[in-house]
Amino acid sequence: MTTQTTAPKKTGAPAPGDASGLIGIPAGLGRALATGGGVLTVVSTFLAWTWTAEFPGDLTVYGYPGGLQVLVLIAGALTALFGLASYGVKGLGWLAPAGADAALKFAALAAFATTWYTIIAISTKLGGVVNLEPGGYIAAAVTLVAFLGALALPFERPEPDPFDPDDTGWDQFKHTSSQNWQTVRAAFASKEPPPLRALPSYVEILVIVATLAVALLVFTYGIGTEYDELFIGFLIVAGFGFTALHRSGLIVHVTEITARHQNITVCGGFIAAACFPFTQSDDQYATLGVYILIFATVALGLNIVVGLAGLLDLGYVAFLGVGAYAASMVSGSPSSPFDLHLPFWAAVLVGAAASLVFGVLIGAPTLRLRGDYLAIVTLGFGEIFRITANNLDGTSGPDVTNGSNGISSIPDLKILGFDLGVSHDMGGFTLGRFANYFLLMLIITAVVVLVFRRSGDSRIGRAWVAIREDETAALAMGINGFRVKLIAFAVGASLAGLAGTVQAHVTYTVTPEQYLFAGTTPPNSAFLLAAVVLGGMGTIAGPLIGAALLFLIPNKLQFLDDYQLLAFGLALVLLMRFRPEGLIANRRRKLEFHEEDEAPAVLSKTGA
C-alpha cells in the first residue's frame, strides 16, 4: 500500500488556445474581448444614449456622462483594469492579488447588467428602442461582447500553493492523525489569497484612509440617488463590483490591514461618518442617516445577545420602545403623565435604566430556557409590551402611555445651551435639525461600539462565546450559564434603551405601532435580527453595515408598492444562499459555512 500526496496547485491562466470557460472560445481571445469591451464601455458613456431629456439623468449630452452612464463608466473601468491585471501589466498587481479572472467576470457582468437595464428602462419609459441614440446601441453591444469574453475565462480563480511538496515539513503533515489532517487540509486548501506582504505603517494608514473615503463616497451616492432607476443601477454596480473586488483578493487584503490597525480604523470610521452631514445641502438625506444610525445602534446591541451569547431574541425591539417611552415621559412632553422636564443626560440615564430593569425582569425567569423555547418567550414579551402600551390609555387601564396616540409633542433636545432642533452654521456649513441629531447619535453609537469591544474582549465576553458554542460544555467547565446570559440580556437591553432616548426626540412622538415584531419598514424585531445575521454575527462592522442596507433599501424600493417585500425577501434569500456567514464574518463562522468548499480532497491511496 502506497500513499500519494497531491499538494494543491495553482490553476493559473490557461494557454491561449485553451477553452476552459463557460463558452467554447479560447481563453486568450476571451480575455482580449473582455478587456477591449471594458475600454469601449468607458468610451460609450461619453456618447448620447437617447435623444430626449425626459429620461432621468439627461443622457443626451455628448462628452459628459450623466445618471446611469456614470455607473456604467465605473463598471467599465473596473472591467478594463481587471482585464489589464490579468495580462500582468506592471503596477496593477495590487488590484488582483488572488488572480483577476474571476474578478473580471463579475466586473463585466456589472457593466453588462447595468447597461442593458438602462437600455430596457429607456425603451420602456419612452416607448421603444427607437428612442435610443447610437451611443446606447454601442454600449449595449460592447458590454455584451465583454461579458461573453469574460465567460471564456477559466472558471476557477488561481489559488496559492500552501506548501512546497519538497519541503521536509510536508512529510510531517502526511503522518498527522486523520482528524487533525482534515483540519489542516481545510485551512491550507482555503481559497483565500496569500498573506499580504507587510507594508510600511504609513502606507497601510493611507490605505485605510482611502478605503474609508471610498466607503463614504459610495454611501453618500447611494443615499442621495434622486430617482428609482438610478438606485437600482447603483445596487447592481455595487453588488457585482464588491463581489469582483472580493474575488480579486483586494477586499481580503484590505481587511488584513485594518485588522492590524483596529483602533485607527474604528476612529477613522467615525470621523468619516461625522463628515456625512457636511456633504448634504439640506436635511433630506440626513434624515435617513440619523434613522440608519438609530437602527444600527440597536442592531449592535442585539449582536451582544445573539452574536456573542447565542440567545435568539425575537422581541428585542421592545427594549427600544421601553427606552423611548421612559425618556419621553421625563422630557417635558404635554402628553406625559409626569410633570418632569429633565436635562438630556438624565433622560438618557432614565431610558437606559428602564430598559435594563425590564431586561433583567424578563430575562430572570426565562433565560433558563434554550433555543426555540427562549425565542418564543421573547417573541411573546415583545407583543406583550406593544399591547400593554396600547391599553394604558385611561380606558382599558391606567392612563400612562396615552394608548394608541402615544406620547406626542416631545421637545427637541438642548445640550449645554445647544438646541438640536434649529439649524446652526459651522465652518461655512449649515447643519439642520437631523444633521444635529445625526452627530449626537454618532456619539452614542461610539459609546455602544466601545461597550461591545470591551465586553467582547473581556472575561465575560469569552464566557458568552463559550455559551454560544456549547452551553453544556461551558457549564461543565464551571461557567455560571444563567448569570452570564442574564448579563448579556441586561447589557443588550440597556444599549437599546440608550438609542430609544434619541429616537423619541427625533420622531417627536412615541406610539406602540413603532415597535412591531415585523413590518414593512424598520426598526422592528425581524429587521433587527436580519441586520445582525446579514451583516455578520459577533462582529462590530457587520450589524452596522447590515442595518444600513436593511433601512436604506426598503426606503428606496417604495416604488415597488406591494412587491417591495417580495423583492427584498428574494434578495435576502440569495445573499444567505451565497454568503450565509454574513457580509462581515469572522474566520470561525466562515469555516463553519464553507468547510467543504475550502477542504477539497488532496489525498488518494492506491493499492500496491
State residue 591's pLDDT score.
60
State residue 105's pLDDT score.
92
State residue 520's pLDDT score.
62
State residue 519's pLDDT score.
65
C-alpha distance from residue 93 to each of 81, 208, 249 (Å): 10, 19, 11
Cell of 446: 461610539
Whether 111 contacts 140, CB under 8 Å:
no
Bond preceding residue 14 cis, omega within 30 of 0:
no
How far apart, in whole angstroms, are the C-alpha atoms of residue 194 and residue 97?
8
The Cβ of residue 31 has, within 10 Å, a number of other Cβ atoms equal to: 25
- Chain centroid to CA 444: 20
State residue 602's pLDDT score.
40
Quote the Cα angle for 385-388-392, to 5°: 140
How far apart, in whole angstroms, are the C-alpha atoms of residue 224 and residue 227?
9
How far apart, in whole angstroms, are the C-alpha atoms of residue 577 and residue 472?
30
- What residues contact residue 261 under an 8 Å CB cut-off, 6+ apart? 201, 204, 205, 208
Q: What is the 3-state secondary structure (H, E, C) of 170-211?
A: HHHHHCCCHHHHHHHHHHHCCCCCCCCCCCCHHHHHHHHHHH
Largest CA distance in the chain: 91
411 burial (CB, 10 Å; 0-12 / 13-18 / 19+) is middle
State residue 47's pLDDT score.
93
Question: What pLDDT digit, counting tens, does each position of 513-540 carry?
Answer: 888 877 666 677 888 888 888 888 878 8
433-456 and 481-507 helices, crossing angle to 10°: 170
Domains and CATH numbers, the chain: 27-160+192-251 (no CATH), 284-555 (1.10.3470)
State residue 2's pLDDT score.
42
Question: What pLDDT digit, counting tens, does each position of 320-355 carry?
Answer: 989 999 988 888 888 888 878 888 888 889 999 999
Could you tell me the end-to-end alpha-carbon distance of the chain, in angstroms, rounded to an integer?
Answer: 5
Residues of the chain falling short of pLDDT 70:
1-24, 155-198, 519-522, 561, 586-608
* 63 backbone dihedrals φ, ψ, rounded to 5°: 85, 5
State residue 163's pLDDT score.
37
- What residues contact residue 426 under an 8 Å CB cut-off, 6+ apart? none
State residue 605's pLDDT score.
40
3-class DSSP state of 407:
strand
3-class DSSP state of 295:
helix
- The sign of the CA dihedral 84, 89, 91, 96 is positive
Whether 161 contacts 7, CB under 8 Å:
yes
Cell of 287: 434624515
Question: What pLDDT digit, counting tens, does each position of 143-153 carry?
Answer: 999 999 999 88
The Cβ of residue 443 has, within 10 Å, a number of other Cβ atoms equal to: 11
Whether 152 contacts 21, CB under 8 Å:
yes
